[in-house]
């Protein structure tokens, strides 16, 4: 498999693996390798069945890595060398004799360790860009974004994400698997819409977020004549379709005004432009007889929200809706979200609905590797949950992964890498610090969420947390998404 790998073969120092040595060049690097000790204590980790100990696995890994650096010294056959070694150094371990599931498990385990090693190599005490690339090369041979088990596909995206980090921002041209429209916008948009539809069917993430927020909003504006919703990231506007339906069925329902926050640029590759969404929502509202008006509010060039940019009317109940980490959304800069939430306090919003993903461990001691592994764990849970929704339809899942999850993973890892130790905790915690008060999740809301999850796989779980103002969607004990309701403290 031909890959434009920027590894200079001559720069690879001498390596000693069991009985195998590669051609060497410089001497300084040689020392480095010889003194290199595995930063991860393999022995402390549990082994998979079929392996006598980690020792086998490690040796296998080393052999794999070594296999990449084949004895050819001619740089012109660099690419061929890689592909040759791929076929010739296919390590035959005891795996070949055991059944498929075991093999998958072992392979999955191997991938996890390779990824972990890559993360370590990227930021650990003995970080080395070359080592990372070596590991990534090997990983790339083992995985594919469209084939194989969940772990394999996930590892493919993680590998690519790491590669993007290592190569720096200018490597966008190497985005192999990460969604690239390639064709025209319309085709891409259809892809995204189809993927979104599939996503909604496969998993309850989106519905859980939307419905929980909507129910909280409905309850808080129960007696208002005018409601003004400010939506941080309206995407395709699905959330408001069901809210409008709920309000339209009321005898004298309120007039709804939605202001969608829009950003300059990046509209081309989004699932829908804000204007389109506005048109659709207006048409939908008309079809169900809901008094409705739609507005846009542009963010500044640095994506800061200015409350003054908002047009308010007298006597309206202001609702701030902040959906952050749904699978089909992009990452938003922290400062931007902060400015939005602060705006809610400033404008004395009636209620703020927030949906975010599980933040994972934070703190100084966690480090990049810890967060990396946490993300791996998180997304493997997401992948598993998708599979549970559509066990047979690998292609559908591959589409969703390519269009949505892959870019999310890349963005997530890039963010973690950039932010380093200043990674903040969840937005919920931030709101508490800013003086927001939680609004209890009602029995009806909780009930609705439970019923919704009942329509999907059993593996989904629901928890009520944080002083009763938060509902958390989890997959088999791994928390995925949390929906919480707040109000600025001034409103009492």
Query: What are the strands, taking DSSP E only, across 186-286?
Result: 226-231, 255-262
Among 193, 309, 312, 366, binds another protein (CB under 8 A): 193
Q: Which sign, positive or negative, has the C-alpha torsion 448, 449, 452, 454?
A: negative
Q: What minimum distance in Å lies between the beta carbon of 228 and another protein? A: 21
Contact call for residue 149 and another protein (CB under 8 A): no
> For another protein, which stretch binds (CB under 8 A), given 32-40, 112-120, 193-201, 318-326?
193-201
Q: Distance between CA 357 and CA 133 in Å, rounded?
A: 30
Contact (Cβ atoms closer than 8 angstroms) between residue 461 and residue 489: no
Q: Of 42, 52, 134, which is closest to residue 93 (Cα–Cα)?
A: 52
Among 455, 458, 477, 492, binds another protein (CB under 8 A): 455
Contact call for residue 267 and another protein (CB under 8 A): no
> For another protein, which stretch binds (CB under 8 A), given 88-96, 150-158, 253-261, 446-454?
446-454
Q: What minimum distance in Å lies between the beta carbon of 478 and another protein? A: 22
Contact call for residue 20 and another protein (CB under 8 A): no
- Termini Cα distance of the chain: 64
Q: Distance between CA 77 and CA 137 in Å, rounded?
A: 16
Contact call for residue 199 and another protein (CB under 8 A): no
Nearer to another protein, 138 or 210 (CB): 210
> For another protein, which stretch binds (CB under 8 A), given 149-157, 182-190, 430-438, 468-476?
182-190
> For another protein, which stretch binds (CB under 8 A), given 24-32, 112-120, 234-242, 405-413?
234-242
Contact call for residue 222 and another protein (CB under 8 A): no
Q: Distance between CA 342 and CA 165 in Å, rounded?
A: 32
Q: Which residue has tokens 């808080």? A: 220
Q: Distance between CA 132 and CA 111 in Å, rounded?
A: 14
Nearer to another protein, 188 or 479 (CB): 188
Contact call for residue 83 and another protein (CB under 8 A): no
Contact call for residue 190 and another protein (CB under 8 A): yes
Q: Which residue has tokens 């329509």? A: 455
Contact (Cβ atoms closer than 8 angstroms) between residue 311 and residue 274: no
Contact (Cβ atoms closer than 8 angstroms) between residue 436 and residue 489: yes
Number of residues that bind another protein (CB under 8 A): 54
Contact call for residue 492 and another protein (CB under 8 A): no
Q: What minimum distance in Å lies between the beta carbon of 339 and another protein? A: 29
Can you give the C-alpha Rg of the chain in angstroms? Answer: 25
Q: What minimum distance in Å lies between the beta carbon of 197 and another protein? A: 6
Structure tokens at 368: 């990049």
Beta strands 292-298 and 317-323: pairing type? unpaired
- Residue 230: count of CB within 10 angstroms of its CB: 27
> For another protein, which stretch binds (CB under 8 A), given 221-229, 316-324, 372-380, 395-403?
395-403
Nearer to another protein, 185 or 300 (CB): 185
Q: What minimum distance in Å lies between the beta carbon of 139 and another protein? A: 20
| Interface with another protein in residues 61-80 (CB under 8 A) | none
Q: How far is CA 205 from CA 46, 328, 385, 451, in A?
A: 32, 10, 10, 14
How many helices (H) does the chain have, and how many strands (E)?
16, 11
Contact call for residue 328 and another protein (CB under 8 A): no
Q: How far is CA 4 from CA 65, 82, 87, 226, 248, in A?
A: 18, 10, 18, 59, 57
Structure tokens at 251: 């005898």
Among 9, 116, 244, 473, binds another protein (CB under 8 A): 244
Nearer to another protein, 245 or 293 (CB): 245
Contact call for residue 398 and another protein (CB under 8 A): yes
Q: Distance between CA 399 and CA 411 in Å, rounded?
A: 18
Nearer to another protein, 89 or 321 (CB): 321
Q: What minimum distance in Å lies between the beta carbon of 242 and another protein? A: 4
Q: Which residue has tokens 């339906």? A: 245
Contact call for residue 287 and another protein (CB under 8 A): yes
Contact call for residue 189 and another protein (CB under 8 A): yes
User: What does the binding site for another protein look like in residue numbers (CB under 8 A)?
Assistant: 146-147, 183-184, 186-187, 189-191, 193-194, 196-198, 200-201, 207, 210-211, 214, 236-238, 241-242, 244-246, 248-249, 272, 280, 283-284, 286-288, 390, 392-396, 398-399, 443-444, 447-448, 451-452, 454-456
């Amino acid at each position: 498999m031909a890959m434009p790998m920027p590894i200079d073969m001559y720069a690879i120092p001498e390596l000693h693996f069991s009985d195998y040595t590669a051609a060497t060049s410089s001497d300084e690097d040689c020392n480095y390798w010889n003194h290199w000790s595995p930063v991860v204590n393999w022995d402390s980790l549990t082994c998979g069945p079929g392996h006598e100990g980690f020792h086998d696995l490690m040796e296998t890994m080393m052999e794999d890595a070594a296999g990449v650096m084949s004895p050819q010294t001619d740089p012109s056959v660099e690419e061929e060398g890689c592909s040759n070694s791929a076929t010739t150094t296919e390590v035959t371990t005891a795996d070949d004799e055991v059944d498929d599931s075991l093999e998958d498990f072992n392979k999955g385990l191997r991938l996890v360790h390779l990824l972990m090693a890559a993360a370590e190599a990227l930021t650990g005490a003995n970080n080395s860009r070359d080592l990372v690339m070596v590991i990534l090369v090997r990983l790339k041979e083992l995985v594919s974004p469209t084939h194989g088990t969940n772990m394999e596909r996930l590892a493919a995206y993680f590998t690519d994400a790491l590669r993007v980090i290592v190569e720096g921002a200018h490597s966008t041209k190497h985005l192999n698997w990460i969604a690239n429209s390639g064709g025209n916008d319309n085709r891409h948009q259809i892809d995204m819409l189809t993927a979104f539809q599939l996503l909604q069917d496969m998993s309850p993430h989106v519905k859980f977020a939307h419905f929980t927020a909507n129910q909280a909003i409905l309850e808080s504006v129960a007696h208002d004549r005018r409601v003004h919703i400010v939506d941080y990231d309206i995407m395709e506007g699905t959330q408001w379709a069901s809210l409008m339906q709920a309000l339209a069925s009321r005898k004298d329902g309120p007039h709804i005004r939605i202001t969608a926050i829009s950003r300059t640029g990046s509209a081309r590759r989004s699932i829908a432009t804000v204007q389109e969404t506005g048109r659709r929502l207006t048409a939908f509202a008309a079809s169900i007889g809901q008094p409705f008006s739609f507005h846009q509010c542009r963010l500044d060039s640095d994506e800061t929200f200015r409350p003054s940019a908002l047009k308010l009317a007298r006597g309206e109940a202001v609702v701030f809706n902040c959906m952050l980490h749904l699978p089909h959304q992009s990452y938003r800069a922290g400062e931007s979200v902060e400015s939005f939430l602060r705006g809610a306090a400033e404008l004395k919003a009636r209620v703020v609905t927030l949906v975010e993903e599980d933040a994972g461990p934070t703190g100084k001691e966690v480090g990049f590797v810890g967060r990396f592994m946490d993300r791996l764990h998180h997304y493997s849970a997401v992948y598993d949950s998708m599979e549970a929704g559509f066990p047979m339809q690998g292609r559908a899942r591959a589409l969703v992964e390519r269009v949505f999850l892959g870019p999310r993973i890349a963005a997530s890892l890039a963010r973690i890498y950039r932010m380093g130790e200043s990674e903040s905790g969840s937005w919920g915690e931030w709101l508490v610090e800013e003086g927001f008060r939680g609004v209890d999740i009602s029995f009806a809301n909780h009930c609705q969420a439970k019923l919704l999850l009942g329509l999907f796989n059993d593996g989904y779980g629901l928890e009520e947390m944080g002083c009763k103002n938060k509902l958390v969607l989890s997959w088999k004990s791994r928390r995925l998404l949390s929906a919480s309701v707040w109000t600025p403290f001034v409103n009492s």
